[in-house]
């Protein structure tokens, strides 16, 4: 029964991504995008072939090669830091300005913002701590401090992606992923924007790595496994303080764990999971309450969660100023909630079942059909330096943006195709794998964004998981190439041996 339920989840995931990919193909009017996608697939095949054939060199020099790649990442990210940095605005501006004000005056620069959006309290606190540490060393360029912190968090996410792939497959695949990440542009275009999208990227992939270690080991009650679950839950709850949707990763892990193991094993760790979750959650909740008191935040001004559901029912389902001002016209949180719910009912009634499904399909396309992940729009706002080739490429007002957009969307299309192919492979083999955790998480996030406010940038936090979803078919391709090379080598050795035997016989006859 569990296996059938598990496979049903994979079937639903495949159907969802078939619809996503179909939307992207139908709505794409660029021949360049299709040609680019073919070129990228050929590059993936070439990369697989080269790693399969010459991967032993990589394995012998693994530490040096990995260190060199991360050094190149860092150099490219520093270039992005210099060339596409922007003056902090929108919510990002509040995350930047409030900590600086706390350091200089011990007061928030905009307490009203955090009263309305207390979900960003913890992130302001984190940046306040980072800026405070920098000021101890007389560093006052807090924009640079925030960007460097962002780079570290992004690169840690990539590093744990590499470690996870090493465990799931092998070191050749891990190295392949590191090379693949050069083509996943949000790892570079989001460098100047230290906000919740990139600063939560580490936590889901860290949890996946720990869960992978747990699943591949004995799963017995011991110190190591207890520690792994403590890290998993703490990482996810810490990510939750910055972006609530990180909780989807914990739900995916628990579903996978329930499907994968015997009931006796599940029951063994369930009390620990509940206890750790409760303790860590209370710890973060206490910190949140302390910050509300310390910084004098009036939670009566809070925008209720129903606001984002209401806003997600109009236009593209993204942020809308009119919706925000509508909610603000009501005074108490209860009044706002009631007004939002009434509007939600009205809009659903106006759509009807058919109209609502059509709208959801439109939201799905808005969320998934953008290979730039909305970064160019954010980079358009108040650039600090626009007269350079990097900004002119990555900003949606740049001269070369159309070329970048075409390449980014081609890469994205290939990623979607690889995800579908990998899911088909899993269904064919009918075996549970840790990759299914990623599928559950990505599907959960997608469903959540269909009901909530949506943007393609909201996928960035799960980007390492999306990459993992695409890997099984690449791994299978690499194994196929390795087997072909092995067969050819054996045939060559056999032919050589026969040839040598014939020569030896001829020499014997001549001597005779």
DSSP 137-200: TT---HHHHHHHHHHHHHHHHHHHHHHHHHHHS-HHHHHHHHHHGGG-THHHHTTT--SHHHHT
d(CA 375, CA 85): 12
d(CA 158, CA 177): 9
The pLDDT assigned to 6 comes to 77
- Number of C-alpha atoms within 13 angstroms, CB side, residue 155? 19
The pLDDT assigned to 499 comes to 57
d(CA 245, CA 499): 65
The pLDDT assigned to 60 comes to 77
DSSP string for 445-492? HHHHHHHS---GGGGGGGHHHHHHHTHHHHHHHHHHHHHHHHHHHHHH
Give the residue among 426, 511, 440, 512 at the shortest CA–CA distance from 472: 426
Q: Angle at CA 153, nearest 5°, toward 151 and 157?
A: 115
d(CA 305, CA 291): 20
Burial of 246 (0-12, 13-18, 19+ CB in 10 A): buried
Query: Of all helices (H) and strands (E), which one includes residue 367?
Result: helix 333-368
CA 213 to the chain's CA centroid:
20
The pLDDT assigned to 428 comes to 83
The pLDDT assigned to 122 comes to 95
Q: Which residues pair with 86 in a beta bridge?
A: 383
Query: pTM surpassing 0.85?
Result: yes
% of the chain beyond a pLDDT of 90: 58
- The phi-psi region of residue 243 (left if phi > 0; otherwise alpha if psi is between -120 and 50; otherwise beta) is beta
For the chain, residues with pLDDT lower than 70 are 1-2, 28-37, 52-55, 262-263, 432, 485-486, 488-512
Determine contact, residues 445/466, Cβ cutoff 8 Å. no
375 contact partners, CB below 8 Å, separation of at least 6: 185, 186, 189, 190, 193, 394, 457
What percent of the chain is helix, strand and coil (3-state, nearest 5)? Answer: 80, 0, 20
d(CA 295, CA 125): 11
Give the residue among 99, 93, 95 at the shortest CA–CA distance from 134: 99
The pLDDT assigned to 467 comes to 95
User: Which residue has tokens 């360049």?
Assistant: 32
The pLDDT assigned to 361 comes to 92
φ/ψ of 148, rounded to 5, equals -65, -40
Per-residue b or e along 256-273, where b marks 16 or more CB atoms closer than 10 Å to that residue's CB: bbebbbeeeebeebeeeb
């Amino acid at each position: 029964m569990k296996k059938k339920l598990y496979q049903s989840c994979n079937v639903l995931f495949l159907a969802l991504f078939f619809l996503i990919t179909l939307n992207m193909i139908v709505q794409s009017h660029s021949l360049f995008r299709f040609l680019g996608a073919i070129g990228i697939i050929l590059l993936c095949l070439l990369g697989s072939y080269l790693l399969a054939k010459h991967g032993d060199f990589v394995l012998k020099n693994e530490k040096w090669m990995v260190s060199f790649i991360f050094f190149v990442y860092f150099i490219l990210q520093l270039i992005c830091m210099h060339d596409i940095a922007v003056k902090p605005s929108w919510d990002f501006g509040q995350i930047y300005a409030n900590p600086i004000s706390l350091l200089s005056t011990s007061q928030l620069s905009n307490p009203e913002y955090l009263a309305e959006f207390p979900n960003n309290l913890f992130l302001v606190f984190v940046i306040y701590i980072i800026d405070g540490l920098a000021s101890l060393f007389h560093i006052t360029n807090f924009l640079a401090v925030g960007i460097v912190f962002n780079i570290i968090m992004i690169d840690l996410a990539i590093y744990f992606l590499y470690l996870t792939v090493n465990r799931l497959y092998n070191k050749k695949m891990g190295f392949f992923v590191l090379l693949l990440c050069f083509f996943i542009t949000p790892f570079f275009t989001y460098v100047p924007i230290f906000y919740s999208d990139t600063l939560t990227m580490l936590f889901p992939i860290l949890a996946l790595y720990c869960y992978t270690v747990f699943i591949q080991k004995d799963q017995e009650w011991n110190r190591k496994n207890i520690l792994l679950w403590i890290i998993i839950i703490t990482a996810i709850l810490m990510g939750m303080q910055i972006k609530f949707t990180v909780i989807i990763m914990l739900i995916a892990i628990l579903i996978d764990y329930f499907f994968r193991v015997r009931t006796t094993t599940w029951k063994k760790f369930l009390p620990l999971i509940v206890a750790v979750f409760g303790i860590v959650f209370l710890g973060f909740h206490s910190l949140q309450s302390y910050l509300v008191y310390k910084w004098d935040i009036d939670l009566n001004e809070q925008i209720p969660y129903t606001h984002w559901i209401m806003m997600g029912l109009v236009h593209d389902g993204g942020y809308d100023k009119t919706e925000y001002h509508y909610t603000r016209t009501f005074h108490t949180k209860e009044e706002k909630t009631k007004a939002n719910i009434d509007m939600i009912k009205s809009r659903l009634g106006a759509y009807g079942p058919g109209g609502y499904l059509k709208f959801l399909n439109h939201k799905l396309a808005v969320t998934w059909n953008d290979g730039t992940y909305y970064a160019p729009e954010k980079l358009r706002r108040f650039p600090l330096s626009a007269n350079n080739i990097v900004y002119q490429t990555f900003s949606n007002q740049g001269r070369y943006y159309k070329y970048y957009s075409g390449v980014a969307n081609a890469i994205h299309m290939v990623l979607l195709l690889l995800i579908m192919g990998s899911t088909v492979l899993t269904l064919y083999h009918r075996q549970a794998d840790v990759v299914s955790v990623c599928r559950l998480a990505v599907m959960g996030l997608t469903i959540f964004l269909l009901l909530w406010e949506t943007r393609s940038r909201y996928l960035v936090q799960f980007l390492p998981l999306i990459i993992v979803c695409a890997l099984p078919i690449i791994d299978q391709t690499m194994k196929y190439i390795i087997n072909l090379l092995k067969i050819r080598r054996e045939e060559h050795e056999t032919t050589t041996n026969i040839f040598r035997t014939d020569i030896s016989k001829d020499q014997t006859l001549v001597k005779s």
